[in-house]
Amino acid sequence: MSAHMNLTLKVWRQKNDKQKGQFVTYQANNIADDMSFLEMLDIVNEELTRKGEDPIYFDHDCREGICGMCSLVINGRPHGPKQGTTTCQLHMRSFHDGQTIVIEPWRAAAFPVLKDLAVDRTAFDRIQQAGGYVNVNTGGVPDANAILIPKRIADEAFESATCIGCGACVAACKNASAMLFVSAKVSQFALLPQGQTERYERAQAMVDQMDAEGFGNCTNTGACEAECPVGIKLTNIARLNREYLTAKLFREEDIHN
């Protein structure tokens, strides 16, 4: 049988990126500990709607930890207190009766607030568009298993590709750096033979777009890896740095030649 609790919520409310926001306090009563965090917010919103008040605006979609939309900072931590867990996978048993929960949006200049807890993360889309593609002249399309890839390389590429683009790495970073996200997207192509045609061009284009979007610099504090809900590793950043430096060397050689 599930236990129930009463909670105090301090929620960031902001109409848009042009207006100042503030914390507003709400009560969440009779919350079952087997509810998800988003289900708890749904109940609070139902109560606000019944009162004729504006419900709390937050992002969500799959609610299965796949899409990365449920981007909330909960008591100072992106996605809340549990490691390897997205907000939608977080359950209320992680909190206790009478607790105060502070809920905020991602805090980054490159992620402007749309409303309340939802931010505009299309900067990530533009970074991927800058280099997240491959050009392969296949001729007749070969069987998918025709290109042999060592298991270690395939596993590394797959682990990088599991990045869900939620932006927790940016929210966790004191500099609002997007290096973990960008390095994961670069790595998933750089490791595979299909991604070699524009390997170094990709790294330079995506890093240049990242800088243009206004993300901060990486100082290797490791907060991004610690808060990533799918466990993307810092080793990806080391790979991105190698890819980017090699791209710069190739470009200088082309200029001199």
pLDDT of 141 reads 62
Mark whether 188 and 157 lie in a shared domain.
yes
Mark whether 85 and 140 lie in a shared domain.
no
For tokens 């890839």, name the residue. Answer: 149
Mark whether 164 and 250 lie in a shared domain.
yes
Q: Which residues of the chain are modeled with pLDDT < 50?
A: 256
Assign residue 232 the CATH number of its domain: 1.10.1060.10
pLDDT of 199 reads 85
State which of 115, 136, 157 marks the end of a domain: 115
pLDDT tens-digit readout, 20-41: 999 999 999 999 999 999 999 9
Mark whether 111 and 132 lie in a shared domain.
no
Q: Domain span at residue 69?
A: 4-115
Q: Cα separation of 237 and 220, whole Å?
A: 9
pLDDT of 99 reads 98
pLDDT of 83 reads 94
Assign residue 94 the CATH number of its domain: 3.10.20.30
Mark whether 132 and 249 lie in a shared domain.
yes
Total structural domains within the chain: 2
Mark whether 126 and 249 lie in a shared domain.
yes
- CB contact set of 174 (below 8 Å; sequence gap of 6+): 219, 221, 223
163 with 214: CB under 8 angstroms?
Answer: no
pLDDT of 196 reads 81
Structure tokens given for 146 = 């025709």
Mark whether 109 and 127 lie in a shared domain.
no
183 with 237: CB under 8 angstroms?
Answer: yes
State which of 115, 143, 168 marks the end of a domain: 115
> Pairing state of beta strands 118-119 and 100-104?
unpaired
pLDDT of 162 reads 96
Mark whether 134 and 242 lie in a shared domain.
yes
pLDDT tens-digit readout, 60-89: 999 999 999 999 999 999 999 999 999 999
